[in-house]
Every structure is written in C-alpha cells, then in structure tokens.
Chain A
Amino acid sequence: MEQIIQQLKEQLIEALNLEEIKPEDIDPDAPLFGDGLGLDSIDALEIILILEKNYGIRLENTAEAKPHFYSVRTLAQYIVSQQDK
C-alpha cells in the first residue's frame, strides 16, 4: 500500500505539473480537491488517465468512483481493490 501511495504521489506531481510540491509534502489523508492540494475538475480528468494508463483501471461510473478520489490513500486503496479482482 505504502509503495502505491508513494508511486501515486510522484505520478500526480508529474501529470498535474505540481512543480513546487515534493512527494513528502503531500499528506496521503488530506483531500485532493477543494482544500488540501486544491485540485479541480481538469485535474480529475488527469487522475482518471493516470488510473487507466498506469493501473489499467477504467472507470465505468464516475459518480460511484467519487469517494475513491477523496485522498491519495483512498485512491491507492481503490487501485489495490481493483487489482485484486
């Protein structure tokens, strides 16, 4: 789990061009949208691409997937749950 969290942080920094942020600056439990990292809807699309390109996870229902996008940890848990299937 910790390895996926670290990997996700690096992928987020690269894909979203968070140039002033280092992986250790990202709290895995902090919200990704609004507060915390302050991401928006365009970033959400970029995260969907990260899941699809790097983990082979295709979101069929984005509304249902919303809770998984709360933080880096919830995203990592979602990745692990999908890989176990």
Chain B
Amino acid sequence: MKTHCYIERYATSDMLPTDIKALIPDATLRRRMSRFVRTGVATAMCCLDADSESGEAIDAIITATGFGCLTDSEKFLRNVIEQHEELLNPTPFIQSTFNTIGAQIALLRGYDCYNVTYAHRGLSFESALLDAAMQLDEGTARRILVGAADEQTPSQHRIMERMGCWRKHRDGEGAAFLLLQATPTREPSPCIEEIDFPETRLDDDTIRRRYAVEQILRCDTPQSECYPTAVARILTQAVAPAAGKQIRIAVCNNYMEAQPSVIVVSC
C-alpha cells in the first residue's frame, strides 16, 4: 500500500530513564504494571511527552504485540494450576490481555479515542501501521500514536530454544512508539511511503530495484534482536536524525521466516 504518513516523533525503550515515575506518575497504575507493561507505556509516554509543546490531542492509539503480556499471562496460568482454578488474583488476569498497554496509555492521558491492538505474530506492527496509514490517508484521523512492544520471559525463551529458534536468531525484547501525522509540521519530515507484503523474502538487489531505495535495514539478520515486533524499533533507526541528503530506506522484516514485509521510508 502506498501511503504518506509523516513521522513527527518517536521513542524507543532504549531511550527510557532508569526512573520512570515522571513518565507514569499514577502510583496505583504503576504498581500493577509488569516490567513489560511499564516499558511499553513509558515508551509511549516518552513519545507523547516530547509532543506536549504542541498541546494537540491524538485521534487514535494503535498498538501491536506478538506475544502480549507474557509475565502476567504466565502468572495467571500458574495461579490457575496452583489454586486448582479457585481464588484467582484479579490483577494478573486484568493485566494479561493483549491490549493492556493501549488501555493504560488511554487511562493515563484520559484519551477516549479509537484504541486498537493488533496481535498478528510477526506482522503485528505492520498491521497496526496499515491501520494508521489508512486512517491518515482517508482523513478519519490526523495524528496517531502507533507503537509496538514485546517481552521475553525465561519460560518463553526456553520453549523457543527447544524449538531451535535461537540457532539462527538472537533473542530480544523492546518497545517503540511513533507519532504519525497526515501532514508534516516541519520540513523535511521522515515519511512512510509504502507498506508491502511480498510473497517471498526478497534479496537486496530486488528490493533496491522494486522500491527504488538507497539503503536497506533488515530485522532478519543473525545480529538483529529477534522478537515479533522488532521491526518497529528498526524503523526508528531508519528515521533517526542523519545528516546529509534525503534518502529512501527499506525496512525489511521476516520474523521466523514466516511472512516478509517491507516498509519504505524517505528521510
């Protein structure tokens, strides 16, 4: 799909301060959050806080996660087994849903706008991005917070190890959020120009020709951190301020060799 989504701002979990109290000031919400939810929400807040000067509201919150809240899900399931399906703690159950991060962002900021979470394995972030792109292109939204987060837990790591996943890939986790706009507020602004799902993994030469790009960033190299929504963080690397002339970059994903995707960005 061809599109024009301007990236106003972004934040990643690597940019978070050690103490996130300033980003999530509500102590009650904070104490119920697992490390994963805290990281995701704080990253979103970091992206939004940088935008506080403009004072403009956002029209949609679209989040993506491949695995969801694993820590809380594991805690809840362990509770079910240990307690013989009785006397279950409410907090891990409430927090284990896939849309916890999106919901907590809305609660913290008081946003009652469109709020959807995509959980489509390795294409979760691309699905969220497609939704945002369509809304911005159709004019149903002008400013959208799009982001992704995935965590790694010891049990999930062990299971994937037994499946042989870490023989070819490096494990990882992280969060990244982007504030997308239909029109740029400054020139030049990084712009997502295309989101595509080729049938097979394309080699670099084909990508350069087909998408007319000068640079390629891949999520599926042995050096890249491998988790379902790693592409969101790689996308922020593509738009990180770079001196020099404007270029087109292809961000390529192919999580666990299941379904390739290409996001074309000009910046």
Instruction: Tell me if B140 is interfacial: C-beta within 8 Å of chain A.
Output: no
Instruction: Tell me if A49 is interfacial: C-beta within 8 Å of chain B.
Output: yes
Instruction: Out of B28, B90, B94, name the residue touching A38 (CB < 8 Å).
Output: B28
Instruction: Tell me if A53 is interfacial: C-beta within 8 Å of chain B.
Output: yes
Instruction: Out of A15, A20, A40, name the residue touching B89 (CB < 8 Å).
Output: A15
Instruction: Tell me if B27 is interfacial: C-beta within 8 Å of chain A.
Output: yes
Instruction: Out of A15, A40, A49, A53, name the residue touching B28 (CB < 8 Å).
Output: A40
Whether A42 pairs with B27 at a CB distance below 8 angstroms is no
Q: In the assembled complex, which residues on chain B have CB atoms less than 8 Å from the CB atom of A15? A: 89
Q: In the assembled complex, which residues on chain B have CB atoms less than 8 Å from the CB atom of A16? A: 31
Q: Which of A38-67 contact B (CB under 8 A)?
A: 38, 40, 42, 45-46, 49, 52-53
Sample 7 A-B pairs with CB under 8 A, ordered by A number: A20-B27, A38-B28, A40-B28, A42-B32, A46-B89, A49-B87, A49-B89
Per the CB 8 Å criterion, the residue count for chain B at the interface is 9
Instruction: Tell me if B91 is interfacial: C-beta within 8 Å of chain A.
Output: yes
Distance between A69 CB and nearest chain B CB, rounded to angstroms: 16
B residues bordering A, Cβ < 8 Å?
A: 27-28, 31-32, 87, 89-91, 94
Instruction: Out of A17, A20, A46, A52, name the residue touching B90 (CB < 8 Å).
Output: A46
Instruction: Out of B28, B31, B32, B90, name the residue touching A45 (CB < 8 Å).
Output: B90
Q: In the assembled complex, which residues on chain B have CB atoms less than 8 Å from the CB atom of A20? A: 27, 31
Known: A17-B32, A19-B31. A42 touches B91 (CB 8 A): yes
Instruction: For the A-B complex with A46-B91, A52-B87 known, give 9 more contacts whose Cβ atoms are closer than 8 Å.
Output: A15-B89, A17-B32, A20-B27, A38-B28, A40-B28, A42-B32, A42-B94, A45-B89, A49-B89
User: Which residue of chain B lies nearest to A16 when distances are taken between CB atoms in the complex?
Assistant: B31
A residues bordering B, Cβ < 8 Å?
A: 15-20, 38, 40, 42, 45-46, 49, 52-53
CA distance A53 to B32 in the complex (A): 20
Which one of B27, B32, B90 has the highest number of Cβ atoms from chain A below 10 Å of its Cβ?
B90
Q: In the assembled complex, which residues on chain B have CB atoms less than 8 Å from the CB atom of A53? A: 87
Distance between A36 CB and nearest chain B CB, rounded to angstroms: 13
CA distance A66 to B229 in the complex (A): 45
Distance between A56 CB and nearest chain B CB, rounded to angstroms: 11
CA distance A38 to B31 in the complex (A): 12
CA distance A12 to B27 in the complex (A): 16
Whether A42 pairs with B87 at a CB distance below 8 angstroms is no
CA distance A65 to B94 in the complex (A): 25
Q: In the assembled complex, which residues on chain B have CB atoms less than 8 Å from the CB atom of A38? A: 27-28
CA distance A45 to B87 in the complex (A): 10
CA distance A40 to B32 in the complex (A): 12
